[in-house]
Amino acid sequence: MLQPTTRWYWYCDNQHLMLSLHKNLQFKTAFNLRCLLNTPNCKQGFSLIDTERYVRLAEQLQSSHLKVNGAQLTQILINATAALAFHKPITLRSWYFAHQNNAGSIRQLASLENDAGKGTVLILEQTLEVATCMVVSPHLMLHANKQLRQFELIKVMKNRLIPYIEQTKHFSQSA
């Protein structure tokens, strides 16, 4: 996982929000300019607030046992930080998912599930009843013909969230 430095800065190319990590290393976020607010007109430093968000989310994800390598973790963290800093507010879309009796999250991670499938999400912001989440799975099916891609955002009622539990294989011994 990459650690933020004072050399990092946000900028926009013609279509996407970008993060310069080093002189020769640029990161293209998952967010095109039409879904962003307050985009940088020129170089905008990776702020102290950005760094705090990045580090806090890194700590949560590293203790969650989410199975990702260092490069994948960095990609999740940069996109999450970009979403928190620049993404436009989104509308509630809870109707795709059923109410959960044991709703919640573990270390900012949860799952959303419906008849079309299940996916893991990272909770970016939450209020008493609503959570704005970023898709961490390769995709999240909303219904048979509609899906969200990795790093897209969705806002749902918190009673739709299933606490994230690491998927492990259980073997039973037969007598």
pLDDT tens track for 4-60:
999 999 999 989 999 999 888 999 999 999 999 988 888 999 999 999 999 999 999
Q: pLDDT tens digit string along 74-87?
A: 999 999 999 999 99
Tokens 């959570």 -> residue: 131
Closest CA to 163 of 103, 118, 122, 114: 103
Closest CA to 107 of 136, 64, 156, 151: 64
Q: pLDDT tens digit string along 81-135?
A: 999 999 999 999 999 999 999 999 988 999 999 999 999 999 999 999 999 999 9
b/e per residue 36-51 (b: at least 16 CB within 10 A): beeebeeebebeeebb
pTM confidence score = 0.91
